Amino acid sequence: MPRVSPGILSFPPFRGLTRQLVLWNLGIYFVLTILGFASPGAVYNIASIFALDPASVLHGRVWQIVTYAFVHAGASLGAIFGMTLEMLSLWFLGSMLEQMRGSRWMGELYFLSVIGAGLAAVVLGLFFSSVGLGFTGCYGALFGFVIAFGVLYGDMEFMMIPFPFMIKAKYMAVVSLIVALAMLFSVLHVFAFSELGGALFGYLYIKFSPRRGFAVAGSETVYGMRNRYYRWRRRRAAKKFEVYMRKHRDN
């Protein structure tokens, strides 16, 4: 878990879209955990609907490409540790990007990276039957965040907790990519491939998105077109009025 700047050991403010994403993830996790004790079968049914299963996506459950990122099931020590790491990383990286680039931009990067990771898992599922039900978590989005820091703020330094040394964001991104590539040859190849998918979609968004995100740019374009239309109507009305007044004077 990285922390930014020497001597600064506090997390960024817990607010905005980042807080909403963290709370949604935590809320769903606790609901599924409690439900798992009461009715394990119900949790399985929920997972079959919202967790990512490449075969289900290809048969019409396309919403799983997004919803899997909010599904975190399991009450084991490993599951709790993984969930904690995910949420702390989302809080830290997401809050910093939200402060630097705005909520819309960060949100678009998050969901596009989630979709990229989900599509990568679906593509891999076409070739490997081992990619099955139960693909969950927002690690693809977090990988997109890491790539964003590496590309946009490469010289920013992070402390690699629990390791007591600093590393620049661009090197952290490179190390993360190398680790993911190495994991392709392990039993975690599905997880690694999805991370790389999230990294690719995150990189493409970073390179081609407007400064404040596509949503703001799109709304500005729509409003600009509307304003040009109204100006055209006013000019047209003015010309008609001039013609009318000219005919009136001639008569």
**Cα(128)–Cα(149) distance, rounded to whole angstroms?**
32
Q: What pLDDT was estimated at residue 78?
A: 79
pTM: 0.78
In-domain check, residue 237: no
Q: Is residue 243 part of a domain?
A: no
Is 215 domain-assigned?
no
Q: What is the pLDDT along the chain (251 residues), one digit of tens a residue?
A: 444 443 344 678 889 999 999 999 999 999 988 888 888 888 888 888 999 988 888 889 999 999 999 998 777 787 888 899 899 999 999 999 999 999 999 999 999 999 999 999 898 877 766 555 568 889 999 999 999 999 999 998 887 665 667 889 999 999 999 999 999 888 788 888 999 999 999 999 999 887 655 555 545 445 556 566 556 567 766 676 666 666 666 66
Residue 194 lies in a domain: yes
**Hey, what amino acid is at 132?**
G
Instruction: Determine, yes or no, domain membership for 175.
Output: yes
Distance (Å, rounded) from C-alpha 242 to C-alpha 220?
33
Report which secondary-structure segment, H or E, holds 41: helix 40-50
**Is 65 within the bounds of a domain?**
yes
| Nearest-angstrom CA–CA distance, 116 and 120 | 6
Q: Domain range holding 49? A: 2-209
* Domains: count for the chain: 1
CATH of residue 154: 1.20.1540.10
* pLDDT at res. 4: 45
In a domain, 156, yes or no: yes
pLDDT for position 120:
92
Task: Show the tokens assigned to 144.
Answer: 């997109």
DSSP letter for 135, please.
Answer: B
At 130, is the secondary structure helix, strand, or coil?
coil
pLDDT at 238: 67
pLDDT of residue 90: 94
Q: What was the pLDDT predicted at 54? A: 85
Q: What do you get for the CA distance between the two ends of the chain, in Å?
A: 84
Which amino acid makes up residue 164? P
Q: Let me know if residue 91 belongs to a domain.
A: yes
The owner of tokens 């190398």 is 178
For position 142, what pLDDT does the model report?
94
* pLDDT (0 to 100) of residue 5: 44
Q: CA torsion, points 44, 46, 48, 51, in degrees to nearest 10?
A: -110
The b/e string for 49-72 (b: 16+ C-beta within 10 A; e otherwise) is ebbbbbebbeeebeebbebbbbbb
